[in-house]
Structure 1
Amino acid sequence: MSKFNRSVKKPARNALTVTHEGGKAYVRDAKSDLVLLAVVNMVGEDTFYEKAADRDDRYANLVRTVAVEDGEWTARFVAWLRGEAQMRSASLVAAAHAVHARLRAGLHGGNRQLVDAACGRPDEPGEFLAYWTGTFGRALPKPVKRGVGDAVRRLYGEKALLKYDTDSKGFRFADVLELTHAAPDPEKPWQGELFRHALDRRHGRDETVPETLPTVRARAELMAMPEVERQLVPAQPDAAEVLARAGMTWEALAGWLQGPMDAAAWEAVLPSMGLMAQIRNLRNFDEAGISDEAAQRVLDRLRDPQVIARSRQFPYRFLSAHRAAPSQRWGHALDAALTAATANVPALPGRTLVLVDTSASMTGRVSGRSQVTHVDVGALFGAVLAARGCDVDLVGFANGHFRHALTHGGSVLRDIDAFCARIGEVGHGTETVRALRETYDGHERVVLISDMQAFRYDGRESRGVSVSEAVPPEVPMFGVNTTGYAPSALDGTRPGRHEIGGFSDKLFTMVSLLSAGRGASWPWERAA
């Protein structure tokens, strides 16, 4: 029996079911279910209620169903997922299953573009092929070859070769080139030499670096240096320029030195590091004892709104860095960076009730490599709105609830930490309807941040009272679903009830647009 090629039974509109905790729930249509799951799905990771394999199968089946039914919609979805939503693994998996399902159904148009759209970083053509061959076998249909080839021409360059073409990869650059027969971009005359060099070094042929590849040549010169001399390089006055000229990342430098990354090494490679690499290494900077002058360069970048905007990092990345950093040296700058990452958050008129689920299932991390929990996402939402001057009542709930006073114009990071310190006060259940009924007090809107697995709340109907019915029907309610489980306590088909997923500043934008009366639309339409 095929593991992936199964149809998804279409639920009736507004179909009733129950949550994992027995509360009244609803089944979404396939497109809504797919979008919501995609923006919160860390492929291959267990969640509180759902094992990784079951979750990934559900995702694949949804993609296959929707791709066959509506190829144009699927193409826009995959492009948005990799671009605006910045979901790398989810977009690669979506493109692979979409193309495979469409080819099986005899649908041939647009498949090449689907593959290309899913690849946003130079290692992703190889990642795509690894997933495809591991899932569907070694045979590569022409649309797959051509789509990967398009991505290769767009993404492969000297620095990409040096960073990603390593023995740790199952598919090296040369393997990708040979499998897809990708030709160089005619507008990049150096790319032909790059492709030939990638093939030569993969197969142990002449590894002389062509003069048209100056960055690769500079790296080769460094690699030829005797190990005993390498530790002296970071202390030289021109060390930063030497390393930058050779496209040396901090990971490559650590391996090349064959010794510890001391303060001199970090300071030499610091100017070449991207913002994400820098904030992931704040602890290492402190432990190595980098100078205040070097640290200031990082602090200046964190405080620069334009740098933060270009980095396209999710706001919670800065919260994660704050949790991991051992010293207070970085605190104010990380606060500024988080605020800058939500600079486009619109002001919401009137009073907003932000209700954050603090039950046991929400205290898990959003991914295995993150320091951020699902509760953090909710606290961040409320604290950022307050920092933007909105009138917010932030409430945490489980079996009971607590109100948390926010500091208008204060530190967002401190507000989040203070909120999360209180989550043990109210038990570990999910009494969502009860919390809504006890805390709603004439607010203009309600934002519920939860995995939408509410407990049963008894009422006249046999299934009890739903979350959607807990506040007056004319009051807009936004369910920010942090996990994307299939049954949801919020009925998104009702007027004024909207379910949203993801962790980026787009959450705020979507709440604002829907509050202003714009009809529900797909995220890539809202982005305009």
Structure 2
Amino acid sequence: MLVAPHVSAGARRLAATRPVPGSTVRNPRTYEGGPAYVREPREELFLLAVAHFVSQDTFYESGAYREDRYTALVARLAVEHPAWTAGLLRWLRAEGNMRTASLTGAAAYVRARLAAGSCEGPSNRSVVDSVLQRADEPGELLAHWTATYGRAIPQPVKRGVADAVRRLYTSRSLLKYDTPSKGFRFGDVLNLVHASPDPAKPWQGPLFRYALDRRHHPERAEAPAGDRLLTAQRALLGTPADERRALITGPGGAERLAEAGLTWESVAGWLHGPMDAAVWEALIPVMGPMALLRNLRNFDEAGIADAVAKRVAARIADPEEVARSRQFPFRYLAAHQHAGPRWADALEAALGHSLGNVPALPGRTLVLVDRSDSMFWDTFSERSTLSRADAAAVFGTALALRAEQADLVEFGWRSTPVPYASGEPVLDVLKRFHRLGGTDTTKALRTHYRDHDRVLVVTDEQALPYGPQGPDPVPRRVPVHTWNLAGYRPAHGPTGPNRHTFGGLTDAAFRMAVLIENGRRAAWPWAAGE
């Protein structure tokens, strides 16, 4: 039988462009040919959205195919269920922390409703405003719109972007995000949407004029006289090149950088010299936790002092910092795989803190973690080297460790228990997982289900048609919760009473499982309004 690693690239592309099983298909199948179920459109969109990275190829679907499917679903539901779709897009950008999917989804939402002449539900303007949470995102949304739909920008888009501009444009955000690498600079956005300054922010008018001059007349651009941040940065950037290093590494260097709002990225380009230990040690006090996380290898290569490294490790492992960062746990796992050994304990602690919302489930729980080949082929994003298989193992292990009593099992074409001890570090348990070929979920359930109170499955759902299927190995009265990491359309099981599928690995999805088991009404992680 042909399994995932032996499928040629051409065969994968063919599979990705063939018609997807839908309601008109009599016997839908997974991409590996196993029995499949067709999802209700809202469930399909939710699963795809939380696993969605624009233009990223996956094992069974091309990036373009997934993007088209995502856009088509948003467009359909924006007209059929506008309040639900608006809630999804807002949640994606906020609690879901998914930037690209929320921005492209908002554009599709507006375009579909304008084409249909629909006015029901949340306004197009409010939906655009709701997904713009960072000061570079107004420009990103406009760049996406013009590249995808043309240069004619509808008024609801312009007004929603203008609302966001008044919220987000400050002198600090201008210094951080108004850079030549951006397709749409702050001045371009202001020219397009004609945002007027917020009357409650008297400093915003001069700032907008400065942003326009920076973009269109840099020779005459002067920072507003009363803006201390912009004035301090202008003075610092004007320092002669041969004096810059001493300015950073000398007494008061960190405070000077903070006053001028210089980030480590801007210092690296401005310094015209090596980013050695002295420079990094001056920068570290003004770097955020995620900037620290991204530069652990650079710190080691530069040879920062052990005392400084201890302070960095303490910040990375600080539970409040972890909570504020809102990073997915696999970010810490990826850092752990690539950073030096002196960061291992801090990253293990941070990973533990990031899993704080995983429920401590009562009774006996069976946790199945998919280790099939397709889980290794795909990564969680096009910028990440972490496979879905490892991310699934992190969450499955965390669920087992937090549960009152749990059996942790890895499965593919075969399945085997993964031993662990109560209180054991997650990253230690990960070393016991393997790569297990094709996907036989049903066989794993038949082998390992022994009157458990619930079953939790972390998978991409694309099961092979191994042998006769027979009856469901888990009684219908027992909850089966599936976390789908890929957002593929064919499902490995039905939805309904005691059968629930969640997209991705967000904290909200874990909370939903607890709500369901408490006998409450199953609800989306936002107030759907319908």
For the 8 Å contact 2:21–2:28, the answer to whether it is kept is no
Q: Which secondary structure does the structure 1 equivalent of 2:160 belong to?
A: helix
Gaps of 5+ in 1: 1-7
Correspondence list, 1:134-153, <5 A: 134-153=147-166
For the 8 Å contact 1:244–1:269, the answer to whether it is kept is no
Correspondence list, 1:260-271, <5 A: 260-271=274-285
Q: Which amino acid aligns with 2:524?
A: W
For the 8 Å contact 1:341–1:505, the answer to whether it is kept is no
- Indicate the residue corresponding to 1:72 in structure 2: 83
TM-score (norm: length of structure 1): 0.92
For the 8 Å contact 1:85–1:504, the answer to whether it is kept is yes
Please report how far the alpha carbon of residue 269 of structure 1 lies from its aligned counterpart in structure 2 after TM superposition. Answer: 1.6
Q: Which secondary structure does the structure 1 equivalent of 2:52 belong to?
A: coil
User: Does 2:333 align with 1:322?
Assistant: no
Distance verdict in 2 for CA 1:399–1:389, change over 3 Å: closer
- Indicate the residue corresponding to 2:106 in structure 1: 95
Q: Which secondary structure does the structure 1 equivalent of 2:88 belong to?
A: helix
Distance (whole Å) between structure 1 residues aligned to residue 527 and residue 321 of structure 2: 26
Distance (whole Å) between structure 2 residues aligned to residue 96 and residue 373 of structure 1: 30
Between the two proteins, the alignment pairs up a number of residues equal to: 506
**Paired-residue identity, %:** 51
Correspondence list, 1:448-527, <5 A: 448-459=457-468, 464-465=469-470, 469-492=472-495, 494-525=496-527
For the 8 Å contact 2:55–2:63, the answer to whether it is kept is yes
For the 8 Å contact 2:512–2:522, the answer to whether it is kept is no
Q: Which secondary structure does the structure 1 equivalent of 2:482 belong to?
A: strand
Give deviations 1:395-415, integer Å, cap 9, x for gaps.
111111121111211211221
Give deviations 1:159-213, integer Å, cap 9, x for gaps.
2111111111110000000000011111111111111100111112522211222
Gaps of 5+ in 2: 1-18
Which of residues 154, 162, 166 is equivalent to 2:167?
154
Give deviations 1:336-381, integer Å, cap 9, x for gaps.
1111112232210011111111111001321122132111222112
Correspondence list, 1:275-286, <5 A: 275-286=289-300
Distance (whole Å) between structure 2 residues aligned to residue 219 and residue 490 of structure 1: 58
Q: Which amino acid aligns with 2:71?
A: A
Distance (whole Å) between structure 1 residues aligned to residue 509 and residue 345 of structure 2: 24
Q: Which amino acid aligns with 2:150?
A: G
Q: Which amino acid aligns with 1:521?
A: A
Q: Which secondary structure does the structure 2 equivalent of 1:27 belong to?
A: coil
Q: Which secondary structure does the structure 2 equivalent of 1:26 belong to?
A: coil
For the 8 Å contact 2:396–2:458, the answer to whether it is kept is no
Distance (whole Å) between structure 1 residues aligned to residue 34 and residue 305 of structure 2: 56
- Indicate the residue corresponding to 2:265 in structure 1: 251
Distance (whole Å) between structure 2 residues aligned to residue 210 and residue 34 of structure 1: 46
- Indicate the residue corresponding to 2:29 in structure 1: 18
For the 8 Å contact 1:451–1:481, the answer to whether it is kept is yes
Moved more, 110-119 or 510-519: 510-519
Q: Which secondary structure does the structure 2 equivalent of 1:135 belong to?
A: helix
For the 8 Å contact 2:362–2:404, the answer to whether it is kept is yes
Q: Which secondary structure does the structure 2 equivalent of 1:127 belong to?
A: helix
Distance (whole Å) between structure 2 residues aligned to residue 168 and residue 12 of structure 1: 45
Give deviations 1:221-265, integer Å, cap 9, x for gaps.
121111121122222121100111111111101001112211121
Distance (whole Å) between structure 2 residues aligned to residue 415 and residue 179 of structure 1: 53
Please report how far the alpha carbon of residue 507 of structure 1 lies from its aligned counterpart in structure 2 after TM superposition. Answer: 3.3
Please report how far the alpha carbon of residue 419 of structure 1 lies from its aligned counterpart in structure 2 after TM superposition. Answer: 3.1
Which of residues 375, 382, 386 is equivalent to 2:389?
375
- Indicate the residue corresponding to 2:10 in structure 1: none
Give deviations 1:116-143, integer Å, cap 9, x for gaps.
1111111100000000011111111111
- Indicate the residue corresponding to 1:288 in structure 2: 302
- Indicate the residue corresponding to 1:230 in structure 2: 244
Distance (whole Å) between structure 2 residues aligned to residue 15 and residue 222 of structure 1: 69
